[in-house]
Amino acid sequence: MKSYRIALIPGDGIGPDVTQAAWQVLQAAAAVDGLELHGQAFPWSCAYYKETGAMMPPDGIETLRGFDAILLGAVGWPQEVPDSVSLHGLLLPIRKAFVQYANIRPHRLLPGVNGPLRKTDFDILCIRENTEGEYSGAGGRVHQGTENEVAVETAIFTARGVERILRFAFESARKRRGILASVTKSNAQKHSMVFWDEMTARVAAEFPDVDVRSYHVDAMAARMVMAPESLDVVVASNLFGDILTDLGAALQGGLGFAASANVDPTRRFPSMFEPVHGSAPDIAHLGIASPIAAIWSGAMMLDHLGETGAAARVMGAIEAVTARGIGTRPGQDKTETVTAAVLAAVRAR
Ligand code: IPM
Ligand code: MN
């Protein structure tokens, strides 16, 4: 029997609720498909920070290294710990330490879910650079607290970092409809973004079967709303990808439906799977968080582990449930009800 070790980091706010939901569904799928998923939960979170002064222990990264994958709920509880502290203490270090350079985010409407657009026939896969760019953390502040204060935040684009994400995006496009949109802002940012465009052209030479076009990020924002059906794979830098994927989440009916995978395509390190929504303090502890994004992220985890049958079973279950109108109304459906329906659908398939 194939067996996998999964690290569970439920985190903050609605994180624990949706992680538990996803874990139950994954266990059910594993049982049907004859897999073993061994979970080990870590309490790393803002509550942990309040207790210990750190978001995770000093050997946290070392501890995670031995797992086959990480399932994460959400990080952040800004009432108690500044986001800049909690995210730089847990989520972002994991993405960087494990070189999870591809953040993969699918945007399409699940059956029965209404998005805000009249157009519904879109199926976009956003691939966001996840380890450098605008999120590199390079910079500093001087003359703090004086009227001469200066803040510098330097975006870092390396040949290695840009090339590998582009290559990954071209390969993803090749497996889909063969259309790639590369997003920059090279009309205004004349160094890093021109570099990205040039690298896109260079890598494109190896993928003559992929139809690649470059767009500026502002134009892409408009295109995602006006002509989402014209897009297939979209690749962007860390910050642009972050913003465009919240837009993508909105198009697919809301953040409760937006799944993501932080992947190390080289498989040297564990990859991490998390819903895009975050800890949602406003609805924490109300029992109404949608578990769909977390469950979908779990399906992406199974897929990454090579368990494509189990992954398809979980996706099929989610779709069967939303097609019946269950879990399609954010803020109205109870987490428990939706989870129970998906569990039943997994077992019935
Ligand atoms: C996301 C989130 C994070 C990001 C934040 C919480 C740092 O918005 O996963 O999209 O920007 O990467
Ligand atoms: Mn985001």
Where does the chain hold its CATH 3.40.718.10 domain(s)?
A: 1-106+256-349, 116-251
Please, which residues have CB less than 5 A from ligand 2, an ion?
Answer: 242
Best mutation site among 91, 103, 239 for ligand 1 pocket (most ligand atoms within 8 Å of CB): 91
Element at 215 (helix H, strand E) = strand 211-216
pLDDT at residue 349 in the model: 77
Query: Using an 8 Å Cβ cutoff, are 84 and 137 in contact?
Result: no
Which residues have a Cβ under 8 Å from the Cβ of 202 and sit 6 or more positions away?
163
Question: How close is the Cα of 246 to the center of ligand 1, in Å?
Answer: 10
pLDDT at residue 25 in the model: 98
Give ∠ CA 157-158-160 in degrees, rounded to 5: 140
Longest CA–CA span in the chain (Å) reads 65
Query: Using an 8 Å Cβ cutoff, are 230 and 164 in contact?
Result: no
pTM for the full predicted model: 0.97
Which residues have a Cβ under 8 Å from the Cβ of 294 and sit 6 or more positions away?
18, 19, 21, 22, 73, 259, 274, 275
Cα separation, 116 vs 19, whole angstroms: 27
Cα separation, 338 vs 80, whole angstroms: 30
Cα separation, 197 vs 182, whole angstroms: 8
Q: Exposed (0-12), middle (13-18) or buried (19+): which is 329, by Cβ within 10 Å?
A: middle
**Tokens read off for 75:** 């990080």
- 6 in helix, strand or coil? strand
Measuring CA to CA, which residue among 308, 315, 341 is closest to residue 35? 308
Residue identifier of the C-alpha nearest atom 12 of ligand 1? 242
Pocket of ligand 1 (CB under 6 A): 87, 242, 276, 278
pLDDT at residue 330 in the model: 84
Q: How are beta strands 271-275 and 259-263 bridged, if at all?
A: antiparallel
Measuring CA to CA, which residue among 263, 302, 275, 267 is closest to residue 27? 302
Element at 5 (helix H, strand E) = strand 2-11
Cα separation, 321 vs 302, whole angstroms: 19
Question: How close is the Cα of 242 to the center of ligand 1, in Å?
Answer: 7
pLDDT at residue 74 in the model: 98
DSSP, res 109: P
Is CATH 3.40.718.10 the classification given to domain 1-106+256-349?
yes
Cα separation, 252 vs 113, whole angstroms: 8
DSSP, res 152: E
Q: Is 339 left (phi over 0), alpha (psi -120 to 50) or beta?
A: alpha
- Report the nearest atom of ligand 1 relative to the CA of 260: 9
Measuring CA to CA, which residue among 258, 313, 325 is closest to residue 291? 258
Nearest ligand by distance to the CA of 238 = 1
The torsion angles phi and psi of 169, rounded to 5 degrees, stand at -70, -40
Low-confidence ranges of the chain (pLDDT < 70): none
Q: Under CATH, what is the fold of the domain 116-251?
A: Isopropylmalate Dehydrogenase (3.40.718)
Residue identifier of the C-alpha nearest atom 9 of ligand 1? 276
**Tokens read off for 247:** 């837009």
End-to-end Cα spacing for the chain: 20
Query: Using an 8 Å Cβ cutoff, are 115 and 109 in contact?
Result: yes
Count of CA atoms in the C-beta half-sphere (13 A) of 33: 23
Give the CA distances from residue 19 to residues 120, 273, 303, in Å, rounded to whole numbers and listed in that order: 29, 10, 18
- Report the nearest atom of ligand 1 relative to the CA of 245: 10
Tokens 């073993």 sit on residue: 36
